[in-house]
């Protein structure tokens, strides 16, 4: 623009600045699904797309599995990763622009393999109540390491959880250990370890591959020993009975050596203590009298007594 004021030439120059490169665009490369998990040797599919871009020349996938090369004039590109056998594959989606620039984004891609074997060393037998024992769980040929989680169970209760600290992407072996403290009431419980591959945070439910399980029943606490003998059920029991029906009192105890049993009865309407002619852990009552039945379990180490308090009720049911 030119002005002539008092013979002075004034020029105003208007300059329009046009941003170039990434600052000229608000483009973002996105994936669907945002993460891919595929079993070794298996196949998967993914889509790469962009939006709010007017200067795109084309896009493509770079990958040893599912590479496409440059595809012109598109904003979405699907691909399939067939029979993936590379533990370190890292697919990338790239976008080319009209000014010859290029953006590239890596797709989070995990190749996994479930364990060939999960095994646990057998604890000492017999085990001693109130003692602690080291347990070992061996995981064979699993991948990847950063997704591996081990859970220890006693019955259906989780007693410990561990995560691998390794970063292997290809299959590896690992051993986990934990300490189990045994209680008398654990007699007959199942103890086992479970290996799982945890791919995303547990609170995320939109991913169908949140967890992979490989549970295996491993061992059972089959015998406990204590000094003196210990009862599997509580030391004393209160029972409501009907005098016209049969019932059984279970006084089973555990110990080493095996306990022997003796029974006595103290009635509510009789004086003194009566010896019962029973030597086993279970007393069957043909005719029942209210009172206190006591059972004593004895071995070479010591003896322990359990009491059953029987109360008469109306009806034919025993609770």
CA-based radius of gyration for the chain: 37
Sign for the CA dihedral angle at 74, 78, 82, 84 comes to positive
Highest mean pLDDT among 48-62, 242-256, 275-289: 48-62
Distance CA 83, CA 183 (A): 50
The reported pLDDT for the residue numbered 3 is 44
pLDDT above 80 for 235: no
As a whole number, the mean pLDDT across the chain is 76
Confidence class for position 67, pLDDT limits 50, 70, 90: confident
Specify whether the CB–CB gap between 195 and 211 falls below 8 A.
no
Q: Measuring CA to CA, which residue among 57, 58, 31 is closest to residue 45? A: 31
Angle among Cα 142, 147, 150 to the nearest 5 degrees reads 75
Specify whether the CB–CB gap between 229 and 303 falls below 8 A.
yes
**Region 116-130: what's the mean pLDDT?**
74
Structural domains of the chain sorted by starting position, each given as residue range(s) with its CATH number in brackets: 29-112 (2.60.40.10), 117-223 (2.60.40.10), 230-312 (2.60.40.10)
pTM summary value: 0.61
Specify whether the CB–CB gap between 280 and 214 falls below 8 A.
no
More confident residue, 21 or 137: 137
pLDDT above 90 for 6: no
More confident residue, 226 or 34: 34
Confidence class for position 272, pLDDT limits 50, 70, 90: very low
Q: Measuring CA to CA, which residue among 222, 230, 280, 282 is closest to residue 255? A: 230
């Amino acid at each position: 623009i030119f002005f002539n004021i008092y013979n002075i030439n004034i020029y105003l120059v208007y300059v329009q600045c046009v941003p170039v490169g990434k600052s000229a665009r608000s483009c973002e490369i996105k994936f669907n699904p945002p993460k891919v998990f595929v079993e070794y040797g298996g196949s998967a599919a993914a889509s790469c797309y962009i939006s709010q871009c007017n200067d795109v020349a084309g896009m493509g996938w770079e990958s040893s599995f599912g590479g496409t090369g440059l595809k012109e004039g598109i904003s979405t590109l699907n691909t399939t990763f067939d029979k993936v056998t590379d533990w370190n594959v890292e697919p990338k989606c790239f976008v080319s622009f009209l000014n010859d620039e290029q953006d590239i984004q890596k797709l989070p891609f995990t190749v996994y393999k479930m364990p060939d074997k999960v095994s646990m060393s057998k604890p000492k037998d017999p085990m001693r109540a109130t003692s602690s024992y080291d347990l070992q769980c061996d995981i064979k040929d699993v991948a990847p390491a950063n997704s591996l989680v081990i859970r220890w169970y006693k019955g259906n209760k989780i007693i410990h959880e561990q995560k691998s600290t390794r970063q292997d992407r290809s299959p590896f072996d690992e051993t986990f250990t934990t300490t189990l403290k045994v209680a008398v009431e654990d007699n007959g419980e199942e103890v086992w370890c479970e290996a799982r591959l945890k791919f995303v945070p547990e609170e995320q439910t939109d991913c169908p591959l949140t967890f992979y399980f490989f549970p295996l029943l491993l061992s059972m606490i089959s015998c406990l020993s204590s000094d003196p003998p210990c009862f599997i059920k509580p030391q004393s029991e209160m029972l409501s009975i009907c005098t016209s029906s049969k019932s059984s009192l279970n006084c089973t105890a555990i110990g080493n050596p095996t306990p022997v049993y003796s029974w006595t009865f103290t009635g509510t309407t009789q004086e003194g203590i009566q010896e019962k002619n029973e030597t086993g852990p279970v007393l069957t009552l043909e005719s029942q009298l209210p009172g206190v039945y006591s059972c004593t379990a004895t071995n070479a180490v010591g003896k322990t007594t359990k009491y059953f308090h029987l109360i008469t009720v109306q009806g034919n049911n025993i609770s």
